[in-house]
């Protein structure tokens, strides 16, 4: 598999997105506004900086140990 050279901050943004998504899934509905806002911000960054065809590769790279 060919890995693209993603910047460390982009890989960290994907890791943060995953952690935020998981926290949102586990939190009570009345305490999730901040998590939703953070998820939206991270999503916006990832969509702008990573072409659609490369997003799955970035997710895999973010799951690899550093």
Average pLDDT over residues 21-30: 88
Residue bearing tokens 């997003």: 55
Q: What region does 48 belong to: left with phi over 0, alpha with psi -120 to 50, or beta?
A: alpha
Question: Is residue 23 included in any domain, yes or no?
Answer: yes
Decide if 28 is inside a domain: yes
Residues 7-21: what's their mean pLDDT? 96
How many separate domains does the chain show?
A: 1
Residue 31 domain flag: yes
- Residue 2 in any domain: the answer is no
The whole domain housing 23 covers 8-63
pLDDT for 4: 74
Between the CA of residue 6 and those of 12, 19, 28, 66, what are the distances in Å?
A: 10, 19, 34, 13
Largest CA distance in the chain: 42
Q: Tell me the mean pLDDT in the region 34-47.
A: 96
Distance (Å, whole) CA 65 – CA 25:
23
- pTM of the complete model: 0.87
Confidence of residue 57 (pLDDT cuts 50, 70, 90): very high
């Amino acid at each position: 598999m060919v890995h693209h050279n993603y910047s460390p901050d982009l890989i960290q943004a994907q890791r943060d997105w995953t952690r935020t998504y998981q926290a949102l899934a586990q939190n009570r509905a009345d305490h999730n506004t901040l998590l939703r806002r953070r998820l939206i911000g991270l999503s916006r960054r990832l969509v702008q900086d990573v072409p659609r065809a490369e997003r799955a590769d970035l997710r895999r790279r973010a799951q690899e140990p550093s």
